[in-house]
Amino acid sequence: MQDQDDLFGTPEAPTPTPPRAKAAKAEPANEPTPEKSAAPRKGRLQPAPCSDELLTLGQALPATVRLGTSSWSYPGWEGLVWQNAPSEQTLAKKGLEIYAQHPLFRTVSIDRSFYRPLSASDYARYAAQVPADFRFMVKAPSLLTDALVRSDDGRGKEPNIAFLSPELAVQEFITPAIEGLGQHLGALVFQLSPLPWHMLDRLPAVIEQLRTMLGALPALQPHAPDGVIAVEVRDPQWLAPDMLPLFADALRSANATYCIGLHAKMPPLAEQLGLLRRLWPGPLVCRWNLHPIHGPYGYAEAEKLYSPYDRIHHAEPALHAELARLTHTFASHGQNAYIAISNHAEGCAPLSVQSLAREIVHPSQVEA
């Protein structure tokens, strides 16, 4: 693979990483911290013991690099993120505060917002549980990003009249996220579901519809200095030579960016970089969703094989090296990088994040 620095220009010195800010909610003065406790209180959710390597990696990562996972409510991460084995329900309600104490986790992708819009108070509850330097990635509701209304089994039933609606995008997604997350807002991701064939045949018109929606969104920077709007797609036709310039112009005109989607439906990472070159300079947004061994519709297969998500099943060292080089390029130019990894990428998202962090800090010679 061509060196990433050649793609984006001569790099500057990386921004030093400041000490990790403390969580907003401090421990009571009369209660010992986990490190000082002789034993954890029975039933109390605790962070897993942290190795010296993880602490060192967290301190060595550039300040603008924010790695994390897709959601956090997985009991199988016991020993990696949680000290004990709480239920999924407990983690959904209380796990974020523990998750955010992990030295490598500076972001998380809120995926439940894809299934139904969240309120400003929902987002505010999340923001209250994380340190000052933590930034959220949030998926836009499918109400806005799926061209079809779907049945419970995922089959398209009829056209979605709310698809890419500017008014609903502001009302149901952007405004609540800004009000609730504030400066914790990182990347708001419109992940566009696969389009029906008749819409792919008129993709320029869909791109213009996307441009109109993006142009109607309020600016994030006055409320969230690190905030960015990003668009992820699930059809390779968006990156075809005749479509890519139109897509890039629609994003650039609204100060939005492209979210790299590492998914079997999309081309490999190297083949998605052409769009980022057209949008340079700007932040890096990436979601590593699904290992290609499972195919484009393999989420159920991956879940069955990988659950409880406590170890790596299909390691991708070459992709780690490739993504680490790209991340280093953005960081060395002072650009933010938001990367969320799913359990379905290799089998265990926390271990995937650790591997990527190690590769960013200590690059290997693995060939992509």
pLDDT in tens, 48-59: 999 999 999 999
Rounded distance between C-alpha atoms, residue 309 and residue 294, angstroms: 16
Distances (CA, A) of 248 to 49, 61, 228, 238, 243: 44, 30, 15, 10, 9
Residue 94 has pLDDT above 60, yes or no: yes
Report pLDDT for 44: 82
Domain boundaries, the chain: 44-361
Mean pLDDT, the chain, integer: 89
Q: Which of 284, 355, 344 is nearest to 320 (CA)?
A: 355
Report pLDDT for 343: 98
Report pLDDT for 155: 72
Q: What is the CATH number of domain 44-361?
A: 3.20.20.410
Residue 345 has pLDDT above 80, yes or no: yes
Contacts of residues 144-151 at CB distance under 8 Å and 24 or more positions apart, as own/partner, are 144/168, 144/169, 144/172, 144/173, 144/190, 144/213, 145/114, 145/190, 145/191, 145/192, 145/193, 146/192, 146/193, 147/193, 147/195, 147/196, 147/199, 148/193, 148/196
pTM, 2 dp: 0.89
